[in-house]
Amino acid sequence: MHNGFKHQVTGLRRWLVLAGVLAVLGGCVQTGDVQPMRTGEGREQARQAYIELGKGYLREGLTGQAKPPLQSALKIDPSNAEAHEVLALVFQQEMEPELADKHFRKALSSQRSARILNNYGSFLFEEGAYEKAMEIYQEAAQDNMYPSRSWVFENMGLTALKMGDNSQAMHYFERALRLDATQLRSLLEMGMLSYSVRDYPAAKHYYETYMQQAEHDARSLLLGARVATVYQNRDEAASLGLRLKQLYPASPEYKAYLLEQR
């Protein structure tokens, strides 16, 4: 795929390159300057075109191709937060944690936005730095106008689970669901946590709400089997247990299911 990409311009790349050219030409037309890179507006448009090109490559999984345009953007504006953020995501994808951390920090030194904080928190979570991730998420959650704030609370819930604080996890998942009642991972984890504290009606509610929007995975099959067992629906419990065995025989969920059958 990569070799072919060197010789053929994909629709995505062609569109993004065209957008960049149009941006620069737009600056030229508006200013009357035949060298728009010499104008502040032209440089800003070119920088943004480079960033969009880098983001496009990243979305396609082409991290190697994403770096040159992002570097070009940073040559125009070395402190640009978005360019550093996208470059950090590129290095995170490439499993280069030191470089990812470096560029996340540079992005945050220019702009401590909720989006960048949330992405940095997710990087720290991936690296197992749960306490630091929680601090970063808590800062991101303070922006109550952030459109994706529900995801921040969900991430805080997942981090609390990793830190062994189930009570806090439930609090954060509930906050996430108050902001977005369709947040799937929060619904599933609330179902699991409700079952663990023997709040079976809540576990059933969260499970059924989750299944209205999602397909089964190992975790939902285990929760479904547990709920069915509690409500003495033996056929449903057996069916879900069988699917868990067939689809996820090596999963921790199936091992937990087997232990509960003894």
Instruction: Sort residue 203 into left (φ over 0), alpha (ψ -120 to 50) or beta.
Output: alpha
| Residue 186 and residue 242 share a domain | yes
Domain boundary residue, one of 163, 180, 197 = 180
Residue 40: how many CB atoms within 10 A of its CB? 10
| Residue 125 and residue 85 share a domain | no
Q: Does residue 158 belong to any structural domain of this protein? A: yes
| Residue 228 and residue 175 share a domain | no
Cα–Cα dist 141/112, whole Å: 12
Domain boundary residue, one of 180, 214, 232 = 180
Q: Does residue 13 belong to any structural domain of this protein? A: no
pLDDT tens-digit series, residues 114-173 = 999 999 999 999 999 999 999 999 999 999 999 999 999 999 999 999 999 999 999 999
Count of domains forming the chain: 3
Q: What is the CA radius of gyration of the chain?
A: 24
The whole-number pLDDT of residue 4 equals: 34
Write out the two tokens for 81: 């937060």
CATH number of the domain that residue 140 is part of: 1.25.40.10
| Residue 103 and residue 155 share a domain | no
Q: Does residue 26 belong to any structural domain of this protein? A: no
Q: Does residue 14 belong to any structural domain of this protein? A: no
The whole-number pLDDT of residue 72 equals: 92
Do residues 121 and 155 touch, judged by C-beta distance below 8 A? yes
Q: Does residue 21 belong to any structural domain of this protein? A: no
Write out the two tokens for 218: 């190992």
Range of the structural domain that residue 151 is part of: 113-180
| Residue 118 and residue 147 share a domain | yes
Using CA atoms, how far residue 153 sits from 131, 167, 233, in Å, is 15, 14, 34
| Residue 148 and residue 136 share a domain | yes
| Residue 90 and residue 118 share a domain | no
| Residue 100 and residue 47 share a domain | yes
The whole-number pLDDT of residue 19 equals: 52
Domain boundary residue, one of 165, 180, 195 = 180
Three-state SS for the chain is: CHHHHHHCCCHHHHHHHHHHHHHHHHHHHHHCCCCHHHCHHHHHHHHHHHHHHHHHHHHCCCHHHHHHHHHHHHHHCCCCHHHHHHHHHHHHHCCCHHHHHHHHHHHHHHCCCHHHHHHHHHHHHHCCCHHHHHHHHHHHHCCCCCCCHHHHHHHHHHHHHHCCCHHHHHHHHHHHHHHCCCCHHHHHHHHHHHHHCCCHHHHHHHHHHHHCCCCCCHHHHHHHHHHHHHCCCHHHHHHHHHHHHHHCCCCHHHHHHHHHCC
| Residue 128 and residue 106 share a domain | no
| Residue 229 and residue 187 share a domain | yes
Write out the two tokens for 226: 């547990």
Q: How far is CA 24 from its chain centroid?
A: 32
Cα–Cα dist 51/17, whole Å: 11
Q: Does residue 52 belong to any structural domain of this protein? A: yes
Residue ranges of the chain whose pLDDT lies below 50: 1-10, 14, 18, 21-22, 25-34
The whole-number pLDDT of residue 144 equals: 95
Choose among 147, 140, 57, 53: nearest CA to 94.
57
| Residue 255 and residue 191 share a domain | yes
Longest dimension (CA), the chain: 80
| Residue 201 and residue 253 share a domain | yes
